[in-house]
Amino acid sequence: SGEFVLAALKPHGKTLGIIFADNRYNGAPIGADQLDYFGFFIDQTALVWENLALLRRVEDLARHDALTGVLSRRELEARMAAELARCQRHGRPCSAVLLDVDYFKRINDGQGHAAGDELLRRLGALLRAAVRADDVAGRFGGDEFLVVMPEADREEAMRAAERLGRLAGESGISLSVGGASWPRDCQAVEGLFGIADEALYRAKREGRGCLCFPGEAPVRFDQPAR
């Protein structure tokens, strides 16, 4: 037993934690000088803790797109490079899928930017819920999103991309989707994104609302699943 001090870390009135202290080794009474030092320690600890929490929030905002909640383009590109390098190093496949909202400009022009933003929020939430835990999903720009699928071969990536397109359609969001897999669709892993981008534009030329992979027939989301 003996004397002890219990203090709350409350910078700006917000409780961040509690600190307990006592003279564990000799059980001596806690003097005024020790209380003064403890008070100073509490103030400094609260300040450091608050700054660290603020730094974590800032870092999280930098890593994620504020509107959709998926990764920002900068973080997405960094994570993609890391995953591609890892798959190449271990000789494992990797796939990339690009998703573009069909006629997004019409939605903004006809219903207003608030409606366009809400659609992107819903698509971001769908991606966060539907991709695998190891997949990397982010907003590449505007209404275009990218999903990197480490260790997913062509067949796995096509199934996942078709599922995303159909889930979006069920939510009232029409997508054009293009994908590619390394090493099946490109010799150099650095070329994966470009091949997927070509497949996306092919999906748009095919009438939108569909999925394209190199050498595969388009898969339309408004038709029965294969």
Torsion, Cα 196 105 137 123, to 10 degrees, reads -130
Tell me which DSSP letter residue 1 carries.
Answer: -
Burial class of residue 50 (count of CB atoms within 10 Å of its CB; 0-12, 13-18, 19+): middle
Rounded Cα distance between 8 and 75, Å, is 36
Residue 143 known to be catalytic: yes
For the chain, how are helix, strand and coil distributed in percent, rounded to 5? 50, 20, 30
> Hey, what are 159's tokens?
């199934």
Q: Which of 65, 143, 185, 197 is catalytic?
A: 143
Residues classed as catalytic = 143
